[in-house]
Amino acid sequence: MSVSLSADSAPSDPDDELLVAYLDGELQRGERSELENRLLVDEPLRGRLTELQSSWDMLDVLSVDGSGVSLVETTLELAIADIDSSASGDYNRTNDSLQRSKTKSRWNQRRMAPVLLLSVMAGLAAWSFAAFESRQQQQNELRDLAIAQDLDAFNYGSDLTLMRHLAANPDWIEMVETAAELSAETQPLQPLRQVALDQRQSAIEQMSVDQRELLGSRWDAFSRLSDADQESIRQLAATIETQSDRDTLLNTMRAYATWRSRLPSGLVDQIEGDDADASRQAVRDAIDESKSSMAETSGSQLDDETVDVIYFAIQEFAKKRIGKDQRRYQPPGGFRGPLENPKTREWFAIRQMFGYPDRRGPGNRNRSNGGNQNRRRDVSLTSNEFATIESLLPTQSQETLGILTNGDPTLVTMTLQVWVEEVIRRKMPLRSDKSLLQRYQDLSEKQREIVDLMPPEKMLQSISGGRSGGQ
Amino acid sequence: MTVTESTALRYQQSDPDVRLMLRVRDDDAGAFAELVSRYEGRLVRLMRTIGPKADLAEDLAQETFLRVFRARKRYEAGAKFSTWLFTIAGNVARNSARSLGRRKEISEADAGRGDLSPSSPALLTHNAPDASGLMAARLVEGDERASVVRAAVESLSERQRMAMMLSRFENMSYQEIADTMNLTTKAVKSLLSRARVNLKEKLEPYIEHGVIENGAADQQATNAEREIE
């Protein structure tokens, strides 16, 4: 069966016309509603609609604009040639037999031709100048883009003396490297300043969507600055380019900008203050604070194997302790239901023995003052028990522990205590490990459509299974 | 056709390209350069599809701009600038097709045989496959897909192609397309409906089975040969 194409004059199917007009947004409201009602009940019509749109969508391949070759200059040249030839043609054709008025008119046209020619040439020059200016502006923007990419570094790392102190401080470098290793950022932005100006555009095109979005947001932030602020950042960037240690400086500035955003404001003020001794002390405190904080948050990154190993170890410790003193580790009485399950009773006992020994109220931990108060975290296991857990850890977790603590016994103990608490939390009976987002993603498309239309409170309640507010 | 003062004023206010064209009318060549710069890409794209040969697209676009320039003294703001420009473009493409057709007739008469261009719609229509004419099930991607689509588009009539381009890529309403092509909106409606249906018929085997029809396959082979040359 060969495909016969309908010619312009061939009658077209009224339904096809209706569907096409619908797809082109050309139907009146009444017609549109009527068709939509038909589409709801008429499956073949729906199929036809989809077919007509699918082939139309394929026309995207024709969407490429032009050939990339500018026609402006050659078209203007042709326009000049056109004026020139028409003027000389008119002149040649002028002869005495022409009526006087006609001759006058043509003479005028001939006289006007050079004026027009000049105008076109001036236009060409103006266009060339505008094109040159536009290229210049684009080059300037590409230059600024490299600066905008490091906007935070230039904003917060402008004290080059402090940056050099930090770059020479092994504790700080170690902390920064640890943070980088534990960071989820797998693909850092390629510094545009290292890319030649004429290659920056293609470098940007090769960036991932996320990287381009990030760069775009930094560019927006840079664009929002006042002219004076932009100029001062450009000058700082230029100054850094002249330094012999510019790469180290820039890397330090970037790391410092990230680091300071996670520090309490009091510590930041001291670090950036004029008192050199206070600044050095604040750096030391902030490094401790950061290490502790990293250890505190490292629990959330434990893999399932590590969780199982640690839980197995503390189950064994619990059995030994219960064997020695049964009365002390009785689960809470008076409850029915879940506590009748032996596993649940075991979990409660483990929690009582090892979990959350240092539950702190909101007022018990004053982070804003800085300092390494986290280091005083209470522990619930003996040093032997910690050593056993450490020896049982999978290799990767041992490496993480090493990176986090750099062998500092206090930090090792504190980190392992954090991990034990995390393991107990994760092993809580009846607990769902899924986050709200994961639960939302698990919903069917239809359920999601329903949830999407709910008020926020009800949506939260629905996703969390009635336990809103806690997660 | 004379344009009322209020219409001219309306288009002057609403369409910046009309304002540029009025400056061109007053011999402002910079404004002409700006208009060429603004429309060259779109015009070349249009000419690639509605012109008689894709490789003439730039020449035809340039010819269109030159006609705009030559007609500048007679310009009146009676429509959107793009409507006027694409009307001229349609005429340029049609004239070019006619003149190529005449040359072809002469050369055919000389050669004594018919020789349709491998990309001509007529050949593609002639080669439009029946069920056994499909190439062995062959998935098509990238360039192949583009060739299939181009071949399908070339099989449409010139007016269907023009209406399709104006609707799909210039986002013109039926009324604007009607103004550009000097047709009624009802005619545009039918034209676009036929264009969509014809495209569907030609692309259906590809959409459903990922196979290339014989006609499109020939087209691809020809394109590849051209590239090698």
Query: How many structural domains does chain A have?
Result: 4
DSSP notation for A304-326: HHHHHHHHHHHHHHHHHHHHH-T
Residues of B in contact with A78 (CB under 8 A): 62, 66
> What was the pLDDT predicted at B7?
82
Q: Which of A279-293, A451-465, B136-150, B157-171 has the highest mean pLDDT?
A: B157-171
Task: Please name the member of A2, A5, A66 whose beta carbon is closest to the beta carbon of B45.
Answer: A66
Task: Please name the member of A12, A64, A124 whose beta carbon is closest to the beta carbon of B33.
Answer: A124
Task: Please name the member of B27, B33, B201 whose beta carbon is closest to the beta carbon of A5.
Answer: B201
Residues of A in contact with B165 (CB under 8 A): 62
The nearest alpha carbon in chain A to B163 belongs to: A8
What's the gap between Cα A335 and its chain centre? Answer: 48
A67 interfaces chain B, CB cutoff of 8 Å:
yes
Confidence at A104, pLDDT banded by 50, 70, 90: very low
Tell which A residues from 124 to 153 touch B, by Cβ distance under 8 Å: 124, 126-127, 130
Judge: B57–A3 Cβ closer than 8 Å, yes or no.
no
The nearest alpha carbon in chain A to B206 belongs to: A55
| Mean of all residue pLDDT scores within chain B | 77
Distance separating alpha carbons of residues A71 and B57, to the nearest angstrom: 11
Q: Which of B50, B23, B25, B45 is nearest to B191 (CA)?
A: B50
* Lowest-confidence region among A435-439, B9-13, B186-190: A435-439
Domain boundary among A264, A294, A324: A294
> What was the pLDDT predicted at A470?
37
> What was the pLDDT predicted at B189?
92
The enclosing H or E element of A221 equals helix A209-224
Confidence at A405, pLDDT banded by 50, 70, 90: confident
Answer yes or no: is A343 within a domain.
yes
**Would you say residue B122 has pLDDT above 60?**
no
Task: Tell me the C-alpha to C-alpha distance, in Å, between residue A196 and each of A150, A193, A246, A358.
Answer: 17, 7, 17, 55
Tell which A residues from 269 to 308 touch B, by Cβ distance under 8 Å: none
Q: Which of B180, B150, B147, B149 is nearest to B166 (CA)?
A: B180
A168-206 pLDDT per residue, tens = 988 888 888 878 777 655 456 678 887 887 788 778 877
The structure tokens listed for B199 are 């495209």
Judge: B131–A123 Cβ closer than 8 Å, yes or no.
no
Residues of A in contact with B129 (CB under 8 A): 2-3
How close does chain B come to A153, measured CA to CA in Å?
Answer: 39
**What is the number of residues in chain A?**
471
The nearest alpha carbon in chain A to B126 belongs to: A2
Longest dimension (CA), chain A: 133
Q: Do A325 and A278 fall within a single domain?
A: no
Q: Do A210 and A306 fall within a single domain?
A: no
Residues of B in contact with A89 (CB under 8 A): none
Helix (H, G, I), strand (E, B) or coil at A372: coil
The structure tokens listed for A471 are 């997660």
Average pLDDT value for residue range A204-211: 76
Residues of A in contact with B89 (CB under 8 A): none
What's the gap between Cα A121 and its chain centre? Answer: 49
Answer yes or no: is A202 within a domain.
yes
B146 interfaces chain A, CB cutoff of 8 Å:
yes
* Lowest-confidence region among A423-427, B22-26, B31-35, B218-222: B218-222
Tell which B residues from 159 to 178 touch A, by Cβ distance under 8 Å: 159-160, 164-165, 167-169, 173-174
A63 interfaces chain B, CB cutoff of 8 Å:
yes
> What was the pLDDT predicted at B123?
32
Q: Do A360 and A441 fall within a single domain?
A: no
- Residue of A6, A80, A82 to mutate when probing chain B, most B C-beta within 10 A: A6
A453 interfaces chain B, CB cutoff of 8 Å:
no
Q: Do A288 and A400 fall within a single domain?
A: no
Distance separating alpha carbons of residues A142 and A198, to the nearest angstrom: 9
B69-120 pLDDT per residue, tens = 999 888 888 888 999 999 999 999 999 888 877 766 666 555 544 444 433 3
> What was the pLDDT predicted at A109?
52
Answer yes or no: is A172 within a domain.
yes
The nearest alpha carbon in chain A to B193 belongs to: A17
A64 interfaces chain B, CB cutoff of 8 Å:
yes
For residue B180, the one-letter residue type is T
Q: Do A338 and A378 fall within a single domain?
A: yes
Q: Do A369 and A390 fall within a single domain?
A: yes
Instruction: Give chain B's domains with CATH numbers.
Output: 5-99 (1.10.1740.10), 116-228 (1.10.10.10)
Q: Do A417 and A452 fall within a single domain?
A: no
Answer yes or no: is A220 within a domain.
yes
Answer yes or no: is A462 within a domain.
yes
> What was the pLDDT predicted at B177?
94
Q: Do A339 and A255 fall within a single domain?
A: no
Tell which B residues from 106 to 145 touch A, by Cβ distance under 8 Å: 125, 128-131, 133, 145
Answer yes or no: is A243 within a domain.
yes
Tell which A residues from 17 to 36 touch B, by Cβ distance under 8 Å: 17, 19-21, 23-24, 26
Answer yes or no: is A367 within a domain.
yes
Q: Do A285 and A338 fall within a single domain?
A: no
| Mean of all residue pLDDT scores within chain A | 76
Contacts of B60 (CB under 8 A, 6+ apart): B47, B51, B89, B92, B93, B96
Burial class of residue B204 in the structure, from the number of CB atoms within 10 Å of its CB (0-12 exposed, 13-18 middle, 19+ buried): middle
Distance separating alpha carbons of residues B188 and B10, to the nearest angstrom: 25
Q: Do A191 and A283 fall within a single domain?
A: yes
**What is the number of residues in chain B?**
229
Confidence at B124, pLDDT banded by 50, 70, 90: very low
The nearest alpha carbon in chain A to B155 belongs to: A5
For A460, the domain range is: 434-471
B71 interfaces chain A, CB cutoff of 8 Å:
no
Judge: A123–B33 Cβ closer than 8 Å, yes or no.
yes
How close does chain B come to A103, measured CA to CA in Å?
Answer: 20
Task: Please name the member of B29, B41, B194 whose beta carbon is closest to the beta carbon of A6.
Answer: B194
A119 interfaces chain B, CB cutoff of 8 Å:
yes
**Would you say residue B192 has pLDDT above 80?**
yes
For residue A149, the one-letter residue type is Q
> What was the pLDDT predicted at A469?
39
Answer yes or no: is A116 within a domain.
no
Percent of chain B at pLDDT exceeding 90: 35
